[in-house]
Amino acid sequence: MRYHQYSIEAMRAEPPRKTQTRRVQNEGERLVYGHYTWEFYNKYGDSFAIARSWGWNDKPTFIFSIPTILDKHGNIKWQVGRRYSINPPPGPGDKGRMGKAIGSFLCTGLRGKWLRHMDGVDCVAEGIEKDLMMGTSGQLLDDFQDLWDSIHPRGKRWIDNPKVWIIGQGEYQWEGK
């Protein structure tokens, strides 16, 4: 996943200040919770790839209950328990391509929400540097709003209140350590 430099610094802090990230929901993405049978995934998703990735076979007793976000084609986009790369923003010579991974994190949780349904605790989990005792929740939200709007284009800004995925992050591993 591509991260803003501020977020990378918050993840590298000791202890890490960033424990979750928000990503705008794309059309057709869905969060799968609960128990779904093998037949459900054969009809609506890429069940063979899911089963193969976990080393299971195609027995009809297969039950899938790990929180997972699927893209519009039924492929896994994010899943609790998997590791994901941390990529810096593209540099001048990268021609818009994602920079080389500098680390990874373990996905610890997934949920969906409207962007503006946040409070000060969410802002702190996003890595905003403020002491909750010294700053008000409104100040934290203002700081997060400024950061969000500096990263996202029109249609995905704070005022547009897009639906977002909230991805829990933990167990950071860094290249070269």
Token duo for residue 48: 């063979």
Answer whether 77's CB lies under 8 Å from 71's CB: yes
- CA–CA separation, 22 vs 135, rounded Å? 22
The pLDDT assigned to 134 comes to 59
Entry pTM:
0.75
Q: What angle do CA 30, 84, 61 make, to 5 degrees?
A: 55
The pLDDT assigned to 59 comes to 43
* Digitized pLDDT (tens) for each residue of the chain, 177 residues in all: 788 787 888 888 888 889 999 999 999 998 887 545 444 455 555 444 444 444 444 443 344 567 888 888 888 899 888 899 998 877 776 665 667 889 999 999 999 999 999 988 898 899 887 655 555 667 888 889 998 999 888 899 999 999 999 999 999 999 876
- CA–CA separation, 154 vs 2, rounded Å? 19
Give the contacts of 174 (CB within 8 A, at least 6 positions apart). Answer: 12, 102, 103
Q: Tokens 């203002």, residue?
A: 142
Give the contacts of 131 (CB within 8 A, at least 6 positions apart). Answer: none
